[in-house]
Structure 1
Amino acid sequence: MSNDTIKLQAEARTQFGKGAARKIRRDAKIPAVMYGHGAEPVHITLPGHDAMMALKNPNALLTIVLDGDEQMALAKDVQRDPIKPVIEHVDLVIVRKGEKVTVDVPVHLEGEAAPETVVSMDHSSLQVEAEATNIPESVTVSVEGLEAGTQILAGAVELPAGATLITDPEALVVNVTQQISAEALEAELADAEAEAGVEKDESEAAEGETAEAEGDAAEGDAEKSEDA
């Protein structure tokens, strides 16, 4: 966990609409709005590069500096361009020291499970409640030596001190299964093809008969032309 905040120098925004937003982005800045704790929403612009770097961590605690005043905030919603690496808009929610917030924290796996097993992750993040100034960057789950059939539920994941699980404790996070052998995989594929291929075989037979009939007809035409 980290208590460090990232300072971003903001500017008040007075122009709104798509045209104004495009102009802001052309100036290498990001339009944003900051709200919370009963305060009126404050429309601001953020420095583009610094904000993009800060928001690489979705739960980064930000200190927004506006006209000399500082306000702690978390990114509630980050709208990104679907193609270009550009942030189009950011919603910021004001937080205070000691206040608890609910956030999604990524799950990181470490270690290697037992040989001939497959590890799948059903939940790549867990929702937790933590102090705004003490949000965990991630939670770590060890799969070292786990045998096939092992399942790790959300309630069994060890959380950092001060963090409380909000996700359903019975939610499956990690599932360790037996790796299928090449022979078994081939057998499964053969069975699947056999089941799906009944109609296919019939249609292929029909196509074969049609082709044979067409071939016979062609040969008959050729013989007639030779007789002529």
Structure 2
Amino acid sequence: MSATETPKLEVQIREKLGSRYSDRVRKEGFIPAVIYGHKKGPVHVQANKGALVELLRSHAHLIDVVVSGKTEHCVVKDMQWDYLGDNIIHVDLERVDLSEKVTLEVDLVLAGDPKALNEAGAFLDHPISKLEVACRADSIPENVTVDISELTTEKAITVADINMPAGVEATTDADSVVAQIKIAKEQPEEEVVEAGEGEPEVIGAKEEEEKSE
């Protein structure tokens, strides 16, 4: 994404901090956030929930944050979710220069329909859904696409196999498995025991019989 396409997000400074005030901010339709980095002090802000969520859903990583009339280039460094994992409750925004190298996570997108999935019991195992990358702040990809159309049961695709965009380097462990096709093992059939067969002996039953004789 080039600098001219960088989305903007207007935020307001938060004067009162703490969980009590953060909860109040959320009830009013905002998401608490903090801007930090570049040897400047942190600035606690609040962003309109609808505007921020829309940016994040569009895979925006670099954002021009407007606070008190001043624009700062920031990357989304971290997001905190509620205990159900449904709602964002806090966002960390790190200041950057457009030409500097940054490290962050982007989504992995699998593309293609491997023929090996037509085999009996075959299923796709996708251990990781995000990839950590390093690149210039103004060249962050929305996501990284991995072609799995030629994937077989013989060999998994690892991070080292990914064809990365120009200027983007994967920093996730090169041996990490991105996708592989596995074959489900057949479960052994359970033995059906006929009624009356293999009935457990009742402890004490034989002893009672002997006493009654």
TM-score of the aligned structures, taking structure 1 as reference length: 0.75
Task: Please state if 1:154 is matched with 2:172.
Answer: no
Q: Indicate which of 131, 135, 138 corresponds to 2:140.
A: 135
Q: Which residue of 2 aligns with 1:88?
A: 89
Note the alpha carbon deviations across 1:112-168, whole angstroms, 9 max, x for none: 222314332233222110111211122222222433212222111100111012122
Q: Which residue of 2 aligns with 1:209?
A: 201
Gaps of 5+ in 2: 192-196
Q: Which residue of 1 aligns with 2:123?
A: 118
Deviation at 1:90, TM superposition (A): 1.6
Matched residue count:
199
SS at match of 1:52: helix
SS at match of 1:8: strand
**Any residues of structure 2 matched to 1:179-198 within 5 Å, and which?**
179-180=183-184, 185-186=186-187, 189-190=188-189
Distance in 2, Cα, partners of 1:52 & 1:64? 14
Distance in 2, Cα, partners of 1:86 & 1:104? 19
Deviation at 1:87, TM superposition (A): 2.5
Distance in 2, Cα, partners of 1:18 & 1:144? 48
Letter of the 1:13 counterpart? R
Q: Which residue of 1 aligns with 2:194?
A: none
Gaps of 5+ in 1: 195-203, 221-228
Task: Please state if 1:23 is matched with 2:24.
Answer: yes
Note the alpha carbon deviations across 1:11-42, whole angstroms, 9 max, x for none: 11111122221221222112211000000111
Aligned residues of 1:30 and 1:87 also touching (Cα < 8 A): yes
SS at match of 2:152: coil
Distance in 2, Cα, partners of 1:147 & 1:77? 35
SS at match of 1:97: coil
Letter of the 1:154 counterpart? V
Q: How many percent of aligned residue pairs carry the same amino acid?
A: 32
Q: Which residue of 2 aligns with 1:49?
A: 50
Aligned residues of 2:103 and 2:135 also touching (Cα < 8 A): yes
Distance in 1, Cα, partners of 2:27 & 2:54? 18
RMSD: 2.8
SS at match of 1:15: coil
Aligned residues of 2:10 and 2:66 also touching (Cα < 8 A): yes
Distance in 1, Cα, partners of 2:46 & 2:72? 14
Note the alpha carbon deviations across 1:176-224, whole angstroms, 9 max, x for none: 34x35xxx614xx24xx79xxxxxxxxx96x72118939x88xx8xxxx
Distance in 2, Cα, partners of 1:10 & 1:53? 15
After superposition, the Cα gap between the structure-2 partners of 1:86 and 1:109, relative to the gap in structure 1 and judged at 3 Å, is: closer
TM-score of the aligned structures, taking structure 2 as reference length: 0.80
